Amino acid sequence: MATSEAKSRTAFWIFFGFFQILGIFSIVIFVVWECFFNKGFAWDYRNRQFAIHPLVMVLSMVVLYGQGSLTYRVVTCMNRSKVKILHLVIMGTALVLAVFGVVTVFIYHHHMNYGDMYTLHSWCGMMTVASFALQFFLGMGILLFKGVDGNLKRSYLSLHRYGSLAILAMVGASVVSGVIDDVYLCMSNKSYRDLKLHAVVLNVMGLTSLIAVLNLMYLLYRDDWKRNASNRSGSPEGDVPAQETRPRAPSNDDNFPPPPDYPPPPKETTSLLRHQ
């Protein structure tokens, strides 16, 4: 049994490390591309400001969101209350960065006289950030405070877990549609068809981000990788009190005393006279 659990935990760390590599690689390749082959990042209301948007969105909705989602499964050396605060801080940071990324692209569109919210990417992205904000504030209001009814916490916790997977699915759709938008707006058909360096970087960044999201969904899908709650009270992934067990109702048998402890009957002996 211990060997099986050790193998399962080893598999978890392998997938977790793979997610870290993919997330860091997505960020690094985009930063290198922008700094060495484009003009970098700047708040100039031009293309350098637009470059902030994909960088911040991948950092917040893929990397940080993934770290926050896995907090309860990774940090097992702290008690549940401290892990809950850590989860809240990471998710709050991811939400602030995501809102900043959305505001950045709106300001860029305004100064460039571009339209807003007309592409599938913009719809998916806005729905993703809005769903994340709703989940964050509902989770903070219901799961963080101890005065909330335990039944409500238990009912919402399953919805909260499903919401994480649904948001990750929307993140994957937003990443892929964002790459398509960048190709459509910034490159000619010939440049993309000939796989110029810009096209290769976009494809690699989109693919690695998508694989990272799928890997993260698998990490959250495995129930056997949840935090072990054997040495803790309550739920392993939230401040949810354990289900109360009612005492057994007395039965009629409880009114009668136990039967006396009679001595065992003597063994039957065979008389020798019968055989004579």
Q: What would the pLDDT profile of 10-31 be if each residue is shown by its tens digit? A: 999 999 999 999 999 999 988 8
Across the range 187-211, mean pLDDT stands at: 80
Extents of the domains making up the chain:
2-225
- Of residues 27 and 235, which shows the higher confidence score? 27
Check: CB of residue 56 under 8 Å from CB of residue 100: yes
pLDDT tens across 121-152, in order? 999 999 999 999 999 999 998 888 878 888 88
- φ, ψ for residue 151 (rounded to 5)? -65, -40
CATH architecture of 2-225: Up-down Bundle (1.20)
SS3 content of the chain, % helix, strand, coil (to 5): 70, 0, 30
For the purposes of burial, counting CB atoms within 10 Å of the CB of 146, is it exposed (0-12), middle (13-18) or buried (19 or more)?
exposed
- Of residues 40 and 242, which shows the higher confidence score? 40
Q: How far is CA 164 from CA 70, 109, 119, 167, 198, in A?
A: 11, 30, 24, 5, 32
Is pLDDT above 90 for 33?
Answer: no
Percent of the chain predicted with pLDDT > 70: 80
Tokens of 210: 């998508």
Mean pLDDT (the chain, rounded): 82
Across the range 86-114, mean pLDDT stands at: 93
Q: What was the pLDDT predicted at 251?
A: 55
Highest mean pLDDT among 34-48, 165-179, 258-272: 165-179
pLDDT band at residue 46 under the 50/70/90 scheme: confident
Q: What was the pLDDT predicted at 259?
A: 59
